[in-house]
Amino acid sequence: MASSHARIPSGSAASKAKEKKTTVRIFVSYSHANATQQAKLQIHLAQLKRDEVETWVDERMEAGDRLSTEISRKLREADIFVALMSPEYIASRWCQLEYNRAMGRRARGLMRVVVVVVRPCAWKDTGASDLKSLPRDGRSVIDWRSMDHAFADVAEGIKGAVRAVRASMPAKATRSKPAAKAVKPPAVAKVASRVRAKPKAVLTGKRPTLSRAAR
């Protein structure tokens, strides 16, 4: 006969199940000329987005003459900035506004910048010459056998950036509470009955004698 007792997960296993990874936010910056590549990137990031990763793109990037309030807020909130580099991206004033803002945050240690080279362009002249571009080996997306192969490689590179961001963040589930201050034991009250008073001398003539109460 099968046992009727269900196996209860241990406390440590239950606590691990409740652990939630820190959310990592990715801002994707691209030129509308590369909308097809941006959409392909989102497809390849789908699995990563199931792992507490959020991506944000501005569908109206070219509509205004300055960064909107919403774009500015998303840039401040983002942990990773992904730039889809192409000749059109470099030529776009609006893309460069976003990119320069991101590079400024990177210089202050507030954001990681990932460069994805969609088509050959002078991306190293944009101030990112010290960055390692994706896809790997310095090849642009169009130089790969297929767009899927290229963006699968890009997704792996972005996954590495996500791991690095999480490693630099305190984990939500492992944040320890501040240690409580040590409480000093209350001072022992002096009990008059336990303290023997020093007998007082009573002067009687030339020689002092002890009072009757102290004898």
pLDDT cut 70: percent of the chain above it:
66
pLDDT at 110: 95
pLDDT higher than 80, residue 153:
yes
**pLDDT-derived band at 169, boundaries 50, 70, 90:** confident
pTM above 0.75, yes or no: no
Residues 6+ apart with CB under 8 A from 115: 83, 85, 123, 128, 131, 133, 134
Higher pLDDT, 206 or 169: 169
Closest alpha carbon to 118 in 67, 158, 83, 164: 83
pLDDT value of position 170: 73
Q: Following CA atoms 69, 114, 35, 30 in sequence, which dihedral angle do they give, to the nearest 10 degrees? A: 40
3 state SS of 166:
helix
Comparing C-alpha atoms, which of 105, 79, 89 is closest to residue 35?
A: 89
Handedness of CA 164, 166, 170, 173 (dihedral sign): negative
Percent of the chain with pLDDT over 90: 56
Rounded mean pLDDT, 3-29: 66
CA distance 74 to 190: 65
- Does 1 score more than 60 pLDDT? no
> Max alpha carbon distance in the chain (Å)?
122
Is residue 203 scored above 50 in pLDDT?
Answer: no
Question: Binning pLDDT at 50, 70 and 90, where does residue 141 land?
Answer: very high
| Lowest-confidence segment of 24-28, 111-115, 148-152, 184-188 by average pLDDT | 184-188
Mean pLDDT score, 171-199 = 51
pLDDT at 14: 46
What is the reported pLDDT for 215?
42
Q: Cα separation of 24 and 206, whole Å?
A: 93
32-89: pLDDT as tens digits: 999 999 999 999 999 999 999 999 997 654 555 456 788 899 999 999 999 999 999 9
Residue 33 carries which DSSP code?
G
pLDDT in the model for residue 137: 87
Residue 127 pLDDT: 87
Q: What pLDDT does 68 receive?
A: 78
pLDDT value of residue 69: 83
**Fold of the CATH domain 21-167:** Rossmann fold (3.40.50)
Residue spans of the domains in the chain: they are: 21-167
